[in-house]
């Protein structure tokens, strides 16, 4: 049997002594000058640049972090060449010894869900993730193909519970006996508890935004067996202190994603002195600084 994803994630976090995950969100308008394109409408050229940039970022952060999170949409935007680039980025991350959390937010019914699950979690997946983000709002039966395949293959699933976007509450906080997102949390906890590994967490985790710290703290209590994938640090406005409640006293239980705040660090005032020509140094320094902030302000300092 494969080593459960939850345990592999715990091992990786302990090995690197940080819960930081670097998001790979390639955007043409933010790339360094050395990767600028004269004809940015050509899908083949754009995709090749995206792959080159993301692979360079992977090499910069691989010694520092346990995982990366490629966002599928930025590659999908450029059609087949973009998806080929995504496959190359995933392959490069695996070769660098990183876990890959594929951010695709898939969710559908019946055989369609099975096909999506096979694409990212199956033994012959063209975009093989160690874990995949999924959308639960079509109902529990739509999640079953993802959950069963993840358990079979030793991979993980992160279910959208409370997302980091500003208007997430319009649907997710709708009142019933409890807010809608807490019903989803209860489902996630049941699934996580049934798949608990040696680290105390299960194969089914939750996406919980750092931009809602009070709800983050409550959801940690509601889902004691679920790994949290926590977006929203940095560019979306959340601080390291905002995510402290996501962790257990060992510094486990959550991985915290930062994308723009790290991979485009030279655009920020704090790293502007490095300039566009030293973008690699800015990326590494931003990653180190974020790691230090998490150690200082969260239980991750115990790792």
Tell me the pairing of strands 254-258 and 228-230.
parallel
Compute how many other C-beta atoms are within 10 angstroms of the C-beta atom of residue 295. 19
Burial 23-35 (b: 16+ CB within 10 A, else e): bbbbebeebbeee
105 catalytically annotated: yes
Helix (H, G, I), strand (E, B) or coil at 230: strand
Nearest C-alpha neighbor of 257 from the set 290, 224, 217: 290
Secondary structure percentages of the chain, helix, strand, coil, to 5: 55, 15, 35
Q: Are 131 and 102 in contact (CB under 8 A)?
A: yes
The catalytic residue among 105, 162, 221, 277 is: 105
Show the CA angle centred on residue 174, arms to residues 168 and 176, nearest 5°.
Answer: 150
Residue 66, H or E segment: none
Catalytic residue IDs: 105
């Amino acid at each position: 049997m494969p080593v459960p994803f939850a345990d592999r994630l715990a091992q990786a976090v302990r090995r690197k002594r940080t819960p930081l995950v670097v998001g790979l969100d390639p955007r043409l308008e933010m790339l360094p000058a050395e990767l600028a394109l004269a004809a940015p409408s050509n899908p083949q050229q754009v995709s090749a640049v995206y792959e080159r940039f993301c692979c360079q970022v992977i090499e910069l952060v691989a010694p520092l972090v346990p995982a990366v999170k490629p966002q599928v949409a930025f590659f999908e935007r450029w059609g087949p060449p973009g998806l080929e680039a995504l496959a190359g980025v995933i392959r490069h991350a695996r070769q660098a010894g990183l876990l890959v959390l594929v951010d695709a937010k898939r969710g559908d019914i019946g055989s369609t869900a099975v096909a999506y699950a096979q694409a990212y979690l199956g033994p012959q997946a063209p975009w093989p993730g160690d874990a995949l983000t999924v959308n639960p709002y079509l109902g529990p039966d739509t999640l079953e193909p993802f959950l069963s395949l993840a358990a079979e293959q030793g991979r993980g699933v992160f279910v959208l519970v409370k997302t980091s976007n500003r208007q997430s509450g319009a649907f997710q906080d709708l009142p019933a006996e409890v807010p809608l997102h807490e019903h989803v949390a209860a489902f996630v906890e049941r699934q996580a508890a049934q798949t608990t590994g040696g680290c105390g967490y299960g194969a089914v985790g939750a996406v919980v935004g750092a931009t809602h710290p009070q709800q983050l703290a409550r959801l940690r209590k509601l889902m004691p067996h679920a790994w949290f994938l926590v977006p929203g640090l940095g560019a979306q406005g959340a601080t390291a202190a905002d995510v402290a409640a996501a962790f257990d006293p060992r510094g486990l239980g959550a991985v915290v994603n930062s994308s723009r705040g790290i991979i485009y660090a030279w655009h920020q005032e704090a790293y502007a002195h490095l300039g566009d020509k030293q973008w690699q140094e800015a990326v590494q320094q931003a990653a180190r600084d974020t790691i230090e902030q998490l150690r200082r302000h969260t239980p991750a300092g115990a790792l």
